[in-house]
Amino acid sequence: MSSEASSPPSVRSVRDEVAALLARAGVPDPEVDADLLVGHVLGEGRGRVQALIHLDATVQDADVSRIRELAERRATREPLQHITGTAPFRSLELAVGPGVFVPRPETEQVVQFAIDALRSVPSAEPIGVDLGTGSGAIALAMATEVPHARIHAVENSPEAFIWARRNVEESGVTNARVVFVDLADALPELDGTVDVVISNPPYIPAEAIPRDPEVRLYDPPAALYGGQDGLDVVRTISRVAQRLLHEGGTLVLEHGELQGAEIRELLTADGWRAAATHRDLTTRDRTTTAIR
């Protein structure tokens, strides 16, 4: 990239330079990522970056160098969230990095089903469980948005558990805890008492390698692949959730857009009632719910 020696470059010129680099690298939404990278270095949100562009503000040389350094990393398709160290999720700002699945916007809608179910429980302290919590995104969304609930997050990856524990600690919530244990053995002390179980399990079939380098190269494989048909972990969750939930409790599962019918069939065969699949905001099947 070129550098202007005569006067400090403008925020607009640096942002446009970064956006052009990212576009050439095939990064989706390069202008959005350019805004976010500039904002990350300047300590500003995207809206403020846009304002600085309109004000024709300039950028100090040290900041320009840092922005360019981070832009080069993003151009290799390293996830933006790994570069900034954070990922937004609903009202939360989560710490993420290597070893943990980066939470996705579509999961924000999935967790709404669990939040609604918890809020409808006629109990002073409804109980929610997040199986395979990863960064802790789902568990913390439930804990912060249903503050009278008690939330238990389960993780079996040592790397992801570290991120989840950090996020729970830094959130300051007192109604959520993270447990490191294999999913099949999770929380026997809660058997028959849980109101809502939710999971965003690995559901990609073993041979369906994701196209996006950000996913293929950086998300942990254990968080992506669910066996030959993608449903191995779903089968485990079905059994564990039946053990944990009381009769009438709710199961919420995120899955791929072509898996709804197969998951409904699987759950119904396991004895679940009222299995139903719901579309996300892009009209793709995304969530299946069922009643214990």
Active site residue: 30, 79, 89, 101, which one?
Answer: 101
Round the CA-based radius of gyration of the chain to a whole number and report it.
Answer: 21
Tell me whether residue 201 is one of the annotated catalytic residues. yes
> What is the end-to-end Cα distance of the chain in Å, rounded?
58
What is the rounded CA–CA span in Å between residue 73 and residue 96?
A: 16
What is the rounded CA–CA span in Å between residue 215 and residue 175?
A: 32
Tell me whether residue 101 is one of the annotated catalytic residues. yes
Distances (CA, A) of 224 to 16, 71, 180, 200, 217: 34, 26, 19, 10, 11
| Strand ranges, E, within the chain | 86-89, 92-95, 127-131, 150-155, 176-180, 194-199, 245-254, 273-279, 285-291
By residue count, the chain amounts to: 292
Count of alpha carbons within 13 Å of 183, Cβ hemisphere only?
26
Tell me whether residue 210 is one of the annotated catalytic residues. no
Active site residue: 79, 103, 126, 201, which one?
Answer: 201
Is residue 101 within 8 A of residue 160, CB to CB? The reply is: yes
Torsion sign, CA atoms 224, 154, 185, 254? negative
Q: Count Cβ atoms below 10 Å from residue 93 Cβ, excluding itself.
A: 12
* DSSP state letter for 103: P
Active site residue: 30, 167, 200, 202, which one?
Answer: 200
What is the rounded CA–CA span in Å between residue 48 and residue 272?
A: 49
72, 166, 289, 209: CA torsion to nearest 10: 30
Catalytic residues: 101, 200-201
